[in-house]
Amino acid sequence: MIRLHCLRLCVLLFSTLVLSAAVGTAHATDQPAAARETVRPEVGKPLQAGRDLAKTQKYKDALAKIAEADAVSNKTAYESFLIQQMRGSIAMSAGDSDTAIKAFEAVVASGRLPAAEQTRIVQALAGLYYRNKEYAKAAASAARYYKDGGNDPAMRSVLVQSYYLGNDCASVAKLLNGATNSEESGSRKPAEEELQILANCYLKQKDTGGYVAATEKLATWYSKKEYWTDLLSRIQRKPGFSDRLALDVFRLKRTTGNLNRSADYMEMAQLALQAGASAEAKKIVDQGFSSGALGTGSDADRHKRLRDLVVKTLAENEKTLAASTADAESAKDGTALVNIGFNQAAAGQTDKGLAQMEKGLRKGGLKRPEDARLHLGIAYLVAGQKAKAVQTLKAVQGNDGTADLARLWILQASHG
């Protein structure tokens, strides 16, 4: 499961509340005389006193003065508006979300604020609802904020998180899928936090396909080990995934930095030897020893014996390479040529290796043509020929896991 980190959102939310708090402190006496409506002294005096007390952070006393103004009978609509505006601002500063929400709702309902100020009050309401864990109302206010022309990026986080925490995953998917597709088409990175939320929403809904698609986007744009670990673990558990592709899974693990344990290095090297890829096995063992995963601990002797076997096998294969290649060229099918070429590419002889693999594919009669195309695509990547690699990998078919692995190699090639 992908973890969400909300610290950034909380900081942005606090900034939103502080910004909006400044809006509610306006008072009739601050306005030009011609523009003011009448406020009676019995209302205006306690309001002014409340404002002065709030400036010295005596919020409890300030709210008491606001209540005194509110207790005046026969208040005009304008007086009521000023009372609620002041009450909302002071209550928010005091951390009294319930009182602030009720007051600001009345201010918005009055329709008396200029458009820009009303938008900031709606912004404050979204933050207050979020702090109160009233996520549906927080989302509605955040959506209204943008509809009314607001453009503070902090509010997008409030909107997305409110949908998510309110279990409205349909709205999350609608909002984020459209946004990420648009950003990707414009070659801009979708936000990692939003992709994490999207993935977790699909996980909540038990939508495996949606979850994997979102995680693939995370692996594409933010090629972190944990995203690849999740994807590779899930692909191996997929019904019908063939055990013969274990070495190919290890190849992706190695490329994405997920080859860490000594047991993984040992198993991958042994599988490479069994596949006739002794040059690749040598690279794996060398990496294991240089990283410290091999050659230490209670199994150090086993690691050294494996290294000796790999070196010996590679030397023997190099001596018989010419004869093996001649046999492969005279064979009825191209399987052996593809395997020899892949081993050469892994050894760093990419031009020779690719030529042999391409010849093997042209020869045809392959026992496993999809495996051959997958390996040719990987060899193109090793050679730095990304366009050819992607074109070849896109052609890989099959429901035994080869097509799934090809798709992951394409993702890794795109932004890895």
Do 123 and 145 touch, CB atoms closer than 8 A? Answer: yes
DSSP state of 30: G
- The answer to whether 393 and 379 are in contact (CB under 8 A) is no
CA 313 vs CA 274, 280, 287: distances in Å = 11, 11, 18
CB proximity list for 308: less than 8 A, separation 6 or greater:
none
* Confidence at residue 154, expressed as pLDDT on a 0 to 100 scale: 87
* pLDDT, tens digit only, all 416 positions of the chain: 555 544 344 434 433 443 344 344 444 434 443 356 889 999 999 999 999 999 999 999 999 999 999 999 999 999 999 999 999 999 999 999 999 999 999 999 999 999 999 999 999 999 999 999 999 999 999 999 999 999 998 899 999 999 999 999 889 988 888 766 655 555 567 889 999 999 999 998 888 888 998 999 899 888 889 999 999 999 999 899 999 999 999 999 999 999 989 999 999 999 999 999 999 999 999 999 999 999 999 999 999 999 999 999 999 999 999 999 999 999 999 999 999 999 999 889 999 999 999 999 999 999 899 999 999 999 999 999 999 999 999 999 988 999 999 999 999 988 65
Nearest residue to 194 via CA among 220, 225, 164, 150: 164
CA 257 to chain centroid: 18
Phi, psi of 393 (to 5 degrees): -65, -35
Tokens linked to 165: 């925490």
CA-based torsion, 104, 108, 112, 116: positive or negative: positive
Its pTM surpasses 0.85:
no
| Coil, helix or strand at residue 408 | helix
The two tokens of residue 22 are 């400044």
Structure tokens at 128: 């207050």
Residues of the chain with CATH 1.25.40.10: 7-146
What are the DSSP calls for 291-336, one per residue? HTSSS-STTHHHHHHHHHHHHHHHHHHHHTHHHHHHHHHHSSSSHH
7-146, superfamily in CATH? Answer: Tetratricopeptide repeat domain (1.25.40.10)
The answer to whether 344 and 317 are in contact (CB under 8 A) is: no
Fold (topology level) of 240-415: 1.25.40
Quote the tokens at residue 204: 């909540």
Question: Are the beta carbons of 138 and 16 closer than 8 angstroms?
Answer: no
